[in-house]
Amino acid sequence: MTNQAAVGILLFMGLTSLVQPALLSKINERQVLRTLRARGPQSRAEVARHSGISAPTASKAVESLLRAGLLEEGDADGDLRGRPARKLRLASETVQVLGLVIEAGHCRAVAAGLDGQLHESRETHFSTPETYESLLDIACSHAARLMHRPLITTLGMAISMPGLIDYRQGRGILSPNVPLTNQRSPGHDLTERLGIPVILIQESHALCLAERHYGAAKNMNDFAMLDVSTGIGLGVMSGGRLLTGHVGLAGEIGHITVEMDGRLCGCGNQGCLETVASDSTLAAMLSDRLQRKLSVTEVLALLENGELTADEELGQITRYLAVGLAAVINLFNPSTLFVHSRLFSADKALLTTLIAETGRRALPPSFAGCRIVQARGSKRQGAIAAIIDHLTESVVPVVMTDALSGHSTALRPRSLLSR
């Protein structure tokens, strides 16, 4: 965004005062961060060219970001004909961010630089506890361990969490699969304990961010993500922004009734889509058949080793899942629909079968314009992407003062979650 465009938007919003120079400087810094995040390491000249701001202005923004520790300048990288230009990159050697993934059964915490590269040597996991206070205690302990690194500053953390999340209040509302988070605000509570910014993101939205920044959805502004793991969740990216609805509850397609008198769902209803078409559904169906409790991981191992077959169960799940995919295609008309599921490892032909079944149920024009693709991103990557988004988009100050009246107006930093 150019400076002139930024001024025009602010005036359109009714802020008729002079724009503070500090605000324009921060907008330029944000544009530099966006450019480096989208394109990777760049020389100063490349940053100016790709960000659309003048070389002197870009240089000033770069120096400010270097002082703030958000950027690092790497080794020279050029040809032999002239002096090689040093490359700017998002900081990864002196700062880090954390991601926490909360799921039914287990949780994972991971560290990464602002470049988004996960440090697998700095990843921890633990079983999901039975109480909220225990969750806070254990998560805080694991996060503190990751933060305890000499000369490394931790800038913040994002929590990927299942269920309904009220983004305005930063609070979990209803999680059928992790009910201990209901009416709780782990972001706020861990912020107080750890002393760093901690934000919440719904797990389907986390998968959208993971795919957009690190997967097959790079440079895509319009796509959908169907998470078919413990339950079924939907994330929709429209015009480069996540579709969140009024307070963040949009996309709960997993709780659409598909069997009027079906199995009881964790939400309290019967016959929800996620009771008949998810990774957990396969484990439940085979547990019933074998008369012993099996996890998804155990089921997949048995199938991969040839110790078990599940053609009938997978066929039923595929038919119901196609109903969900067709609904997403008909409602949102995405260019690409990503499906996140471990079921594809159980049957290599499952995706092909699923696409064909979806084609029989979706509206032909909408289906013809949509690719159905297996997702590659993870919720860990999504949590990291979310906190990096939060930090890089929040460099713009949130208060602007009218130079004439002295009245201060709050400006909400724009992020992928903005409505």
- pLDDT tens-digit readout, 88-129: 999 988 999 999 999 998 999 999 999 998 987 889 999 999
- Which has the higher per-residue pLDDT, 224 or 391? 224
Q: Mean pLDDT across the chain, nearest whole number? A: 87
Is the distance from CB of 115 to CB of 98 less than 8 angstroms? no
Residue 153: the pLDDT is: 93
Residue 132: the pLDDT is: 97
Q: Which residues contact 105 (CB under 8 A, 6 or more apart)?
A: 127, 128, 230, 295
Domains of the chain: 3-90 (1.10.10.10), 95-215+377-419 (3.30.420.40), 219-374 (3.30.420.40)
pTM comes to 0.85
Lowest mean pLDDT among 223-227, 377-381, 413-417: 413-417
List the beta bridge partners of residue 112: 97, 118
Q: State percent of the chain over pLDDT 70.
A: 87
- pLDDT tens-digit readout, 107-118: 999 999 999 989
- CA angle at residue 125 from 394 to 376, to 5 degrees? 65
- CA angle at residue 277 from 233 to 125, to 5 degrees? 55
DSSP characters over 250-277: TT-GGGSBSSTT-PBPTTS-BSBGGGTS
Q: How many CA atoms lie within 13 A of 142 on its CB side?
A: 23
Does the pLDDT at position 35 exceed 80? yes
- pLDDT tens-digit readout, 241-290: 999 988 888 988 999 999 999 999 988 999 999 999 999 999 999 999 99
Q: What is the mean pLDDT of residues 33-45?
A: 89
Residue 219: the pLDDT is: 81
Does the pLDDT at position 72 exceed 80? yes
